[in-house]
Amino acid sequence: MKLTDRKKVVVKKEMSLIEKLYLPAITGGMVITLKHLFKKPATVRYPEVKREIADIYRGQHVLKRDDQGAERCTACGLCAVACPAEAITMTAAERKKGEEHLYREEKYAAVYEINMLRCIFCGLCEEACPKEAIFLTDRIVPVSTNREDMIYGKDKLVENMEDRFDVSSRQTPEVLKFKEDKTKGHNQTWVDKQNLRKDRKKH
Amino acid sequence: MIVFIIYKAVLVLIVFLISLGVAAYSTYGERKVAAFMQDRVGPDRAGPFGMLQPLADGLKMFMKEEIIPSVSNKFLFVLGPSLAMLTALMTGVVIPWGSSITIGNYTFPLQITDINIGVLYVFSVVSFGVYGIMIGGWASNNKYSLLGALRASSQMISYEIAMGLAIVALVMKTGSLSFSEIVAQQGGTWINFIYQPLGCLIFIICAFAETNRTPFDLPECETELVGGYHTEYSSMKLGFYLFAEYVNMFISSAVIMSLYFGGYNLPFQNLIASHVDGNILALLQFLFFFAKVLFGIFFFMWIRWTIPRFRYDQLMNLGWKILIPLSIFNILATGVLMYALGKV
């Protein structure tokens, strides 16, 4: 079967005198290296210049909060189960009264840790998450000189309300359309639910 | 007398500092040339354009832990790199860096010492340099070091013969072994390269072998011998070996330029000399010579980043079966030509 037309018949022939001299070949090589001397380097000077990355680049994770600032994660553990590198661990806790503005549902992750040395940035955690709580962002995980620093807890993972992450580029148009439907429980914040309950009592 | 001593001391100091400075910046140049030839940018973090990189490298070498293997011969272990550095720096004294500077009633030639066997002196000192490598490799008490040292010594001895024979043909033409004489002969006329193209080529090839540069860097062949003769070396003793290579490169480039490419002589020198002062002329000559030598160093690097290294049997074949017969033929051809042209 012929796959390409790049086939080349190799003949091991005696070298001619010119070839045996090596000098023409060496000069040819030197011309090539001299040409490269004046070519534009391919180097990207990293910390100052950042290479262009894809819209769906998978970098450091973020644990999302909802619009009221409550953590979306309910410590269901599906991300940890989905993780092929076993990088995610968590401890669940029950929400106390008065913490409704902090945690979106009755259960939350008291401890949530991702070992960035184990993580392979495959994105299966965000795919597994039913609560839209974990997403990968375009941030590059900074290096560290010890292993302890590379285990990221909630202090580094949970998003800051002053500086939120737009993750809409990581979601399909169907999902984005579904999220606009506020009658679905998934899209209601705790405040929305309270208002709905009040409305229901009135009727 | 006092003036003479001060002048010699100053000149020695200047040549010493220039050799070290050029060697230091050759390491930077080497990395930059390598980078540009591979479409990279090379060191650019330390200072503007990475200009302070040699200082950082030197500091690093000094700060590293100094390890002397317990099974080594300590005296010889320290002697090795010292010898390599010493011999590398010693050859600079016979090279004429320019004609002469006149201050008051005194005339100062820009050459530390003009011995009438300058070429032989360079040879003897350069061949002495192999002891640095041999002693270092032997004293390390390590098989890779020893193999590297063996390779280095046999390679240097093989290529020295061809180099010497190439010089014989040159000396037949110039009739002198003194560097200043050979360089002065090339002023205002054709350079020796025109008369001795084959000899020049052989000399350059042998110079590459003598300085252990690619394609003849088998003594430190990383793929086979870990690090070659300096496997066991660390800290500044390693630095001395690496540094000696660059000093050697600088000096051999200067020797090639002096012997075959006109040394410090400017093009249209007589015309320029009639227009400018003697001191300025000497300065111009020095600058021109320096530029030539820097190009020579660049040429060494250019070759290094173009061709891979030889296999050891190929190296020996090239040395004994090709270069030596060729250089003997060169002597013969030179003699016949000189006889035919009635120069003898």
Residue among A26, A34, A40 whose CB faces B307 most closely: A26
Residues of chain B neighbouring A33 (CB-CB closer than 8 A): 37, 302, 305-306
Instruction: Judge whether B241 and B136 are in contact, CB under 8 Å.
Output: yes
Rounded to two decimals, what is the model's pTM? Answer: 0.78
B154: its two tokens: 């046999």
10-residue stretch averages of pLDDT, chain B, 344 residues long: 85 89 89 90 85 88 86 86 88 84 80 84 85 87 86 86 89 86 80 85 89 79 75 86 88 89 80 79 87 91 88 85 90 89 75
Rounded to the nearest angstrom, the gap between the alpha carbon of residue B88 and the centroid of all alpha carbons in its chain is 8
Residue written as token pair 């014989």: B168
Q: Is residue B305 less than 8 Å (CB to CB) from chain A?
A: yes
- Which residues in chain B are contacts of A43 at CB distance < 8 A? 39-41
Q: How far is B56 from chain A (nearest CA, A)?
A: 20
Q: Are B256 and B295 in contact (CB under 8 A)?
A: no
Average pLDDT over residues A115-127: 92
Residue A121 burial (CB count, 10 A):
16
Structure tokens at A22: 């090596």
Q: Which two tokens stand for residue A20?
A: 């045996």
Residue B184 to residue B187: CA distance in whole angstroms: 5
Measured at the CA of B227, the angle between CA B224 and CA B229, to 5 degrees, comes to 105
Q: In what order do the strands lie in the sheet with A107-115?
A: A88-94, A107-115, A151-152
Q: Among candidates B208, B215, B217, which has minimal Cα distance to B252?
A: B208
What is the distance between the alpha carbons of residues B248 and B12, in angstroms, rounded to a whole number? 17
Cα(B35)–Cα(A33) distance, integer angstroms: 11
Query: What is the structure's pLDDT at B314?
Result: 84
B307 touching A, CB under 8 A?
Answer: yes
Distance from CA of B341 to the nearest CA of A (A): 30
Tokens 């020095």, residue located: B286
Q: What is the pLDDT at residue A186? A: 80
Q: For residue range B203-229, what is the model confidence (pLDDT) as tens digits?
A: 999 888 888 887 887 777 677 777 778
Q: Residue A33 is nearest to which of B40, B44, B302, comparing CB atoms?
A: B302
Which positions ≥6 away from B138 have C-beta within 8 Å? B73, B76, B145, B146, B149
pLDDT in tens, A32-80: 999 988 888 888 888 888 888 888 889 999 999 888 888 989 999 999 9
Task: Identify whether the C-beta of residue B309 lies closer than 8 Å to the C-beta of residue B212.
Answer: no
Q: Is the ipTM of this complex over 0.85?
A: no
d(CA A187, CA A193) in angstroms, rounded, equals 10
The SS3 of residue A61 is strand
CA torsion, points B99, B104, B106, B109, in degrees to nearest 10?
-20
Stretch A150-163: mean pLDDT: 90
